[in-house]
Chain A
């Protein structure tokens, strides 16, 4: 049986809602974490990400300035000086399947729909610690492998044929955020 030594993990929590930040802090501290930094918007979170170099990011989706999706895309810049590989757990009130797909395509590692539970959060953290996925870099995507299962029978348009292509159309939110600054 495996257990996580939370004591050695550094978290970055990003949520604009102070009550949810308090809940998350309480859960992480109860798990045994000592280092949990908090940001209330995406811009502050990005700054703290560079400064504190967290092991795991837990972010809300809907936030002011720029949201959790844009935060994920800014972290997942393969040429950036920071660490583009940190696991990102998106904790959100959005509960539609299409949102999961959009989050996945932004490079989010795990998706956790609210209402939050201690068990749900623990399982996501355990998964990113114990089962990290390789990263995939294409012209339009950089992030954890979006395929969790090997399905050789799949012949759809997103198939990497012969070790070749995986094309997902995705507008650049990074450019959008840059232009609005």
Chain B
């Protein structure tokens, strides 16, 4: 498919912009099938994803350990551009992956940590415990998942951390309206 030459471009020119239309180069991959067709690619993919789930706990542990390592580097060296970036990336990856891996509450705590890193005016002045508690919570959620109380404790813990972080960020950014607006803006992902 990719080797097929693109169709002829049709260009309409206006005073300050051009509208460029090309025949859909991917139209040949679109197949008309009868309504009775029972093949369900989404269900097939969900099943394949479920087949990977045996690895999720291990993957999550690796991600949580990467986060702890980034934090340990900060405790050792203080904040630098590199270790700040690594802490953010590690937290951001958990934010994106955790729900898929079955650790939604770890994702909520990681998102809260990302917000602190992104919006705190000076990271050196963020209470050290606030960052440490986020990382400890993520580690606890990942490692203690099999305990019976996790389903109740984990979401409550993450929500509480998010509340404290938001309160801190709202205060720290009280004179920075652009950050305040971003902090208070709703997520495009529906709440759980």
A, B in one complex: yes
* Residues of A that sit less than 8 Å from B by CB: 1-6, 8-10, 16-17, 19-20, 22-23, 26-27, 29-32, 35, 52-56, 62, 83, 85, 87, 92-98, 100, 113-116, 118-119, 121-122, 128-130, 132, 134-139, 145, 160, 162-167
* Residues of B that sit less than 8 Å from A by CB: 1-3, 6, 14-22, 24-26, 28-35, 37, 39, 41-42, 44-49, 51-52, 59, 62-63, 88-89, 92-93, 95-101, 104, 107, 111, 114, 182, 185-189
The answer to whether A31 and B187 touch across the interface, beta carbons within 8 angstroms, is no
The answer to whether A160 and B14 touch across the interface, beta carbons within 8 angstroms, is yes
A3 touches which of B18, B33, B92 (Cβ 8 Å)? B33
- Known contacts A5-B29, A137-B18; A114 and B34 CB within 8 A of each other: no
- Known contacts A83-B6, A114-B97, A118-B42; A134 and B188 CB within 8 A of each other: no
Residues of A within 8 A of B1 (CB): 8-10, 55
The answer to whether B15 and A26 touch across the interface, beta carbons within 8 angstroms, is no
State how many angstroms separate the Cβ of B15 from the closest Cβ of chain A: 4
Residues of A within 8 A of B31 (CB): 2-5
Q: Report the separation of the CA atoms of residues A62 and B171 in the bound assembly, to the nearest whole angstrom.
A: 27
Residues of A within 8 A of B15 (CB): 162-165
Apart from A2-B31, A6-B41, A85-B22, list 11 A-B contacts with CB within 8 A: A3-B31, A17-B93, A17-B96, A53-B2, A54-B2, A83-B6, A93-B96, A114-B96, A115-B98, A136-B20, A164-B17
Residues of A within 8 A of B16 (CB): 138-139, 160, 164-167
Residues of B within 8 A of A16 (CB): 89
The answer to whether B49 and A118 touch across the interface, beta carbons within 8 angstroms, is yes
Offer 14 A-B interface pairs, CB within 8 angstroms, sorted by A.
A3-B33, A4-B30, A8-B1, A8-B29, A16-B89, A26-B45, A53-B3, A85-B25, A98-B182, A113-B189, A129-B29, A135-B22, A137-B17, A145-B19
State how many angstroms separate the Cβ of A32 from the closest Cβ of chain B: 6
State how many angstroms separate the Cβ of B34 from the closest Cβ of chain A: 7
The answer to whether A8 and B28 touch across the interface, beta carbons within 8 angstroms, is yes
The answer to whether A122 and B17 touch across the interface, beta carbons within 8 angstroms, is no
Q: Which residue of A lies closest to B101 (CB)?
A: A19
State how many angstroms separate the Cβ of A18 from the closest Cβ of chain B: 9
Residues of A within 8 A of B20 (CB): 134-137
